[in-house]
Structure 1
Amino acid sequence: MRDVSEKQAADDKVAVVIVAAGRGTRAGQANGPKQYQQIGGGAVIARTLGAFLTHPKIGPVVVAIHADDGALFRRTAGANADRVVAVTGGTSRQESVRLGLLALRSNAPGRVLIHDAARPFVDAELIDRTIAAIGERQGALPALPVADTLKRETAEGMIGETVSRAGLYAAQTPQGFPFWPILAAHEKAHHLGKADFTDDAAIAEWAHIPVKIVPGSPENVKLTWARDIAMADQRLSSAPRFPDIRTGNGYDVHAFEPGDHVTLCGVAIPHDRKLSGHSDADVGLHALTDALLATCGAGDIGTHFPPSDPQWKGAASRIFVEHAAKLVRARGGRIANVDITLICEAPRVGPHREAMTETLSAILRISRDRISIKATTNEKLGFVGREEGIAAIATASVVFPGDVPE
């Protein structure tokens, strides 16, 4: 987990404080705190984090967690744990928010959203509406008009009166504020010992910060009780889904130099020149390596096999492809198909296509019908047309586990 000071908080980015330090006793403790319980095959907090980390307007994200939950948070958040700042929260929601805001102070954002981890169904449109309503001295509160008839109870448990619902709203999160005013309000409340605020809009109201109501979302429910967790799990489990299929592209080019053969897609082909490169300069396999790495966000071939490293001098490029395929499989990926186009005037690729396909089938451990190798000329145009080198384009499709909601 990084420190906020390592990332400049740009004015056009909005920071987020996610409150996840509670014990959630009303949801039951059999499966741990509610923010770590499973819904639709993933943890509540993982889904909440994803909503903000994938939003283009969001910058630094701080998560206030319980002192005992460090390892649990890392395990549950997975790769996202390194994209956020985790701070130890307080004994109340209000104190956890204050500590989260303090973590942003060294590189203060212009605006901040404060969100409950137990609201995993927040969507991009709600985030956008809230951000748009934040002003220099104005906060924003997503809320829904109260639809139910309200009754006030007497001490004897009887109906005392019917309360008009006109102008009444049910507050949601994320609640958005200009950063310094809301931090100052929290700090003032802390120093005065006022710890009875139920949300941040209430603190803003107390500190005379105007708060604009924006339309909330009926989907943005807070998971409070065990039945809420069960209903959320059922909702996600029954939602239409589609497979997590990812496509990666790769491109490479190598120039000719004196030699007697070229290596393309793992096959040595006699030629009056060879390709220049630190390894065996197999342009097809280099492009394929990049395509495979792209499907799991693992950088490029130079990241894993820098040309400055002497151990790769003259190395067979199948090593690079095997490494990329291993990374894909380590993340649970299954290579569905690969497609390579070799662009050259010479040598002729057609007579060697079967051997190339057989080689790739063995390297990737996939059937031959999932491999396509094509060749084309550049119609005598450019460096390829002048027979100065060979270029290659590769595409790989990989199926990863875990369906993505439609």
Structure 2
Amino acid sequence: MDFILYAVPFFLVLIAVELLADRWRGVSNYRLADAVNSISTGVLSTTTGLLTKGVGLLTYAFALKHLALLRLSADSVWVWIFAFVLYDFCYYWLHRLGHERNILWAAHSVHHQSEEYNLSTALRQTSTGFLLGWIFYLPMAVFGVPLLVFVSVAALNLLYQFWVHTQHIPKLGWFEWCFVTPSNHRAHHAQNALYMDRNYGGVFILWDRLFGTFQEEDDNEPVIFGVTTPLASWNPLWANLQFYAQLWDDARRAGSPWDKLRIWFMRTGWRPADVAAKYPMNKPDLALFRKFEVPLGRRQQGYVAVQFCIYIALGSYLMNLERGLPSAALLLGWGAVAFGVFALGVALENRPWALQVELLRLALNVPLVWLAPLVGLWPASPQMWVGLLGYSLISVIGLYRCRRQVTRWVS
């Protein structure tokens, strides 16, 4: 059973509930651009996963067949409990090394880039974690955990982690000692020195207490969310590439061939001495911390929010019909989602060329609607062309209204 697929509507409902709680309590834990960016990375991650999840599943199935020391049964409750605990133990080490090694941080840093902390942050996931993440779960195959059980407990682990991304729930007493909670996970998302690289558990905080990586949230040290090298962008594609690009630049500039190789596997933040001397990186002073912000008119924000709903719907469509769609259809759907959220990110950053990118996005809907039936993304239908015409006209009217409010998009 695909628990994540069925949970998506509840995620969106709970985000709406949290927004109401914000208003009721007179706080502001959401910004439109930040939330759109977080959910965009989630949509991009999900659609990328439709194309890449075979990497983890095939390697797990291969290891289960050839390396398993035991043959556990999916019919046993104890096997499910064992698998659930073992998965979280493996997740702890993936998560910990995801903070401690450059190549793994390049993937995981996406989840930490938001300078807000709310339920939309939970959806902010990497699109490149499939490259190396599978390695850490091979011990489960060695122990003989069936594939169905592995996939199921992985989904349950991820579902649990959703609710801890909120500022509305205080410390929970004894529960803090055993389980990951909003309080100890807020500390995990901090860029304060006190909290840095702590609290890695997914469900159980016991691993952190056992291995010396636990840090309680301190009332005297307010959490500052985000990463020490700010993303300073609303672009979900750049969010996934930022740290890889930094590592590539440093590797390219390094004089030593050994440094060019080992930089990828060194502790996070390590740079070759010659590169660090010639290209110093000055990180912002937390005492002067300011959240990344780009001024946008209300009409622009409303336009982006409405257009973004299209890509939530398209991503949900791909998730629902994934098993019946050919690879070419999934690839076309992924391309539409990737370029769409990229274009909306450009709009949120108010780039001088944002209007041109937005017009290109709308124009590309024509070949999308034409190609989709050819590759099996959806059936050919005259209604699709009528819908496209109506959607395009409404979008152009919306762009015109935005242009009247602010001319920077076309300057």
TM-score bracket relative to the smaller structure: under 0.3
Higher helix share: 2
Larger Rg: 1
Q: Which has the higher contact order (CA 8 A, sep 6+)?
A: 2
TM-score by length of 1: 0.24
Higher strand share: 1
TM-score by length of 2: 0.24
